[in-house]
Structure 1
Amino acid sequence: MSIKQWPLAERPREKLLRHGCAALSDAELLAIFLRVGVAGRSAVDLARDRLIEFDGLRPLLDADRARFCAGHGLGEAAYVTLQAALELARRHYEAQLMRSSAFDSPGAVRQFLHAQMRDFDHEVFAAMFLDNQHRMLRFERLFSGTLDAAAVYPREVVKRTLALGAGAVIFAHNHPSGVSEPSEADRRITHRLREALGLVDVRVLDHFVIGDGEMTSFAERGWL
């Protein structure tokens, strides 16, 4: 049966308009994105099939071009649209942080950093440079390394912080292993960065370690 023949209350688009995005299942949201089904399968059926094929929504969203386009009923047009949607989400979080204090939007900070950092297969160290009201001036990826280490140079961080006129920073780096528990090396470099930036009156507000679906905050651990 075509979705157009479903009761209005059960159609994904009408359900979203009536109850909001949160009321929809992963399959229903994906069906809206796909727009149409294939012969004998509605868009919702097709969405459920693809979620089973990819073992969930996250692997589907993270799939590379070849893997995604190989999925039945997907293809390059859907891949391009999906990548554009994901980039819009990243820019939305960034725009939120440009307008308000990072302390006013801790959820937006986490979402933004997770969207920016989660997909690397190597370790990347980044910083959110903030003004004195803790609004974001710029987000930059500063260093990258191997699968298990990144060379982080406090002197270069201080130079970049001063060049941007930042009054505070939030650091973040990913663990490609997927485990967000900070290592002793992570704690040592954070201490070195905090000391170096303290000499120029710049505060380190937090350091996030991003894993696969989880994130650890140094500030919440009481380490800053």
Structure 2
Amino acid sequence: MTTITQFALTAAEQRAVYRANQILNKYARKHPEFFTCCNHAKDYAFNTLSNRAHECFAVVYLDSQHRLIDVEIVFEGTIDSAAVYPRVVARKALEQNAAALILMHNHPSGIAEPSQADKAITKRLQDALALFDIRIIDHLVVGCSNGSVVSFAERGLI
């Protein structure tokens, strides 16, 4: 069995990933339509979350035209879970005046396959955010070791 420690990045690789993420952030802010393309969102999710040893849950806040408002890691957890609270996501989305969200989180185990817990929290978030007319347009799950990213939208789960 392969463990995440076998895929640990060197300090130089971590700096390169950090710099690549800075460039992506800069590009995304200059081109607010960046997240309207699923592959761009997947690339961003992978570059942001794939090098983390613990589970992180991030939210991309979008306006009514699906242009980028902000991206934020909202919850950080342990090696195999992160507590996600719908009221916190709703509050932050309202503070950002977001009309739509892309959710993203990583699986440090390396398996990008959405779990039942992932599907359940996505449904809870959809239900909670619907009260405020905020849509979830995708939920991306990043497999840390193999570079795969699974899109709920592409699988018909959203």
Task: Confirm or deny a common fold (TM above 0.5).
Answer: yes
Greater relative CO, 1 or 2 (CA 8 Å, sep 6+): 2
Q: Deviations over 1:199-222 (max 9, x none)?
A: 000010000000031010000110
Unaligned runs of 5+ in 1: 1-58, 66-78
TM-score by length of structure 2 reads 0.86
User: Is residue 148–residue 176 contact of structure 1 (8 Å, CA) maintained in 2?
Assistant: yes
CA distance, structure 2, for counterparts of residue 139 and residue 168 of structure 1: 12
2:9 — aligned with what? 63
1:10 — aligned with what? none
TM-score by length of structure 1 reads 0.62
User: Is residue 97–residue 135 contact of structure 1 (8 Å, CA) maintained in 2?
Assistant: no
CA distance, structure 2, for counterparts of residue 168 and residue 176 of structure 1: 26
Q: Is the strand fraction higher in 1 or 2?
A: 2
For 1:181, the aligned partner's letter is E
Max Rg structure: 1
1:96 — aligned with what? 27
Q: Is the helix fraction higher in 1 or 2?
A: 1
What is the RMSD computed on CA atoms of the aligned residues?
A: 1.7
Candidates 134, 144, 154, aligned match of 1:220: 154
Count matched residues. Answer: 148
CA distance, structure 2, for counterparts of residue 147 and residue 87 of structure 1: 21
CA distance, structure 2, for counterparts of residue 91 and residue 177 of structure 1: 25
Unaligned runs of 5+ in 2: 1-6
CA distance, structure 1, for counterparts of residue 104 and residue 60 of structure 2: 8
Candidates 201, 216, 221, aligned match of 2:133: 201
Map of 1:12-51 to 2, 5 A cutoff? none
Candidates 101, 106, 109, aligned match of 1:169: 101
How far did 1:132 drift?
A: 1.2
For 1:190, the aligned partner's letter is T
Q: Deviations over 1:37-79 (max 9, x none)?
A: xxxxxxxxxxxxxxxxxxxxxx5xx5233xxxxxxxxxxxxx3
